Amino acid sequence: MFKVTSSTSATQNNFIKHDSAMLNQFYGTNDVVPYWVADMDFPIANPITQELQRLVDREVYAYEFDSSRVFAAIARWNETAHNLSLDPNHFVQVPGVLSAIALLIREFTQQGDGVLIQTPVYHQFRRLIESAGRVVAGNSLKIEDGHYTIDFDDFEQQLKRGNAKMVLLCNPHNPVGRVWTRSELQTMVDIARRYDVIIVSDEIHADIVFDDHTFTSIVSLRYEKAVSIIGSPAKNFGLNSIANGYIYTDNDALYQQIKSTVSSLAIDHGNALTTYATIAAYEKGREWFEGYLQYTQTTVHWIAEFVASSLPDITMYKPEGTNQIWFDFSKLQLAPDTLKSLLVNEAKMGLTPGAWFGETNPNYYRMNIAVDREQIQASFARLHTAINSL
Ligand SMILES: Cc1ncc(COP(=O)(O)O)c(C=O)c1O
């Protein structure tokens, strides 16, 4: 069963989000509640713990990787959760989602080529593109009626100009929280097909979808040049530091090409802990996951109501998915340093600055909400007091 409180507080951990040096570097103090890293504080599903316990207890780590059972478990989960049919023989396992992206960029583009991303977007996309010697083709998202949408004219122009050789999607989108609809994805596919451009879709947040929104994987659109990175148990099951990445495509030629490159690098399997934790998550973690999703959704609703009723000068982009919320503090009309000081020193909230994601307006911040709701409520109470005393 899903529960909120963990027993880790008394133990010694090196969790990045609590790292004092990093907090001091970003916020000038470590006296903030860290809402910046997209991971969760909750104890993981008990079947995963039991499986890890089994491996630890046996004290033997002979070579053992059961990739086919992992792929089958991920495929079955997606069939049930998203009515998505995936062929277990078309997955390629790599160490993580970011390694998958780095590898696909190198495999399908050349030095100097453009890779299209929809900004503001998860900051590591830019880093991976640029560190591979490729160029970011920024397709800025638009805000229409308080809702993020895709600028399809610009999207098409970028592909037409011929500089962008790959589209790197984030679906559900971190940080703006959109879950791209089938019709939006279809429009992107239609354009990509016209210019023969590959689409790689990072679907790490696929299961974290709220209310009546529906996740649609790029592979369900039957575009021959579509690759998805789906099935990582990092965000849905809180296995961030032991999750693998899974590359999936229906296209046999693309699959063979990716598989051959990954196996030539000898990185095509997980370790036993990762493998069996992932199988346990997808085979036995449903009840826990439903509890987690319900809890997160209630948190989203609580924040939305609090902001609407008590913080009218804060714009919240209510997420359709992901465990992140994207805020705009522009209406407070504060100088960037004053806003930062209000958030850090008075509300004691360690949010991620929008600039990380390529947002040019300094009033934007992202908040990770996969934490105890009472802690979030206390943070918002402090924020309310701080804003009222401006
Ligand atoms: C969109 C997105 N992709 C990838 C990652 C990281 O994936 P991994 O740790 O498997 O490399 C994150 C983590 O926050 C993310 O939000």
For 10-67, write each residue's pLDDT tens digit. 456 889 999 999 999 999 999 999 999 999 999 999 999 999 999 999 999 999 988 9
Report the separation in Å between the CA atom of 98 and the middle of ligand 1, taken as the mean of its atom positions: 6
* Closest listed residue to residue 324, CA positions, set 202, 209, 203: 209
Report the separation in Å between the CA atom of 127 and the middle of ligand 1, taken as the mean of its atom positions: 13
For 237-259, write each residue's pLDDT tens digit. 999 999 999 999 999 999 999 99
Report the separation in Å between the CA atom of 298 and the middle of ligand 1, taken as the mean of its atom positions: 24
DSSP letter assigned to residue 146? T
Q: How far apart (Å, rounded) are the C-alpha atoms in residues 115 and 136?
A: 5
For 366-378, write each residue's pLDDT tens digit. 999 999 999 999 9
Q: Read off the pLDDT band of 7 (50, 70, 90).
A: low
Does residue 202 have its Cβ closer than 6 Å to ligand 1?
Answer: yes
CA atoms within 13 A on the CB side of 44: 26
Does residue 104 have its Cβ closer than 6 Å to ligand 1?
Answer: no
From 121, 122, 126, mutation site for ligand 1 pocket: most ligand atoms within 8 A of C-beta: 122
For 254-309, write each residue's pLDDT tens digit. 999 999 999 999 999 889 999 999 999 999 999 999 999 999 999 999 999 999 99
- Return the sign of the alpha-carbon dihedral for residues 229, 16, 239, 33: negative
Q: How far apart (Å, rounded) are the C-alpha atoms in residues 104 and 248?
A: 11
Report the separation in Å between the CA atom of 335 and the middle of ligand 1, taken as the mean of its atom positions: 31
Is 212 buried (19+), middle (13-18) or exposed (0-12) by CB count in 10 A?
Answer: exposed
3-state secondary structure 126-142: HHHHHHCCCEEEECCCE
Does residue 23 have its Cβ closer than 6 Å to ligand 1?
Answer: no
Return phi, psi of residue 316, to 5°: -110, 130
pTM flag (> 0.75): yes
For 119-146, write each residue's pLDDT tens digit. 999 999 999 999 999 999 999 999 999 9
User: What fold is seen in the domain 16-44+286-388?
Assistant: Aspartate Aminotransferase, domain 1 (3.90.1150)
Q: Closest ligand 1 atom to the C-alpha of 322?
A: 16
Q: Closest ligand 1 atom to the C-alpha of 234?
A: 10
- The residue ranges of every structural domain in the chain are 16-44+286-388, 50-284
Output 6 or 349, whichever has higher pLDDT. Answer: 349
DSSP letter assigned to residue 7? S
From 17, 97, 126, 207, mutation site for ligand 1 pocket: most ligand atoms within 8 A of C-beta: 97
Residue nearest to atom 7 of ligand 1 (CA): 97
Report the separation in Å between the CA atom of 180 and the middle of ligand 1, taken as the mean of its atom positions: 18
Domain 16-44+286-388 and domain 50-284, same fold? Reply is no
Residues 134, 111: contact at Cβ < 8 Å?
A: yes
Does residue 198 have its Cβ closer than 6 Å to ligand 1?
Answer: no
CATH number of 50-284: 3.40.640.10
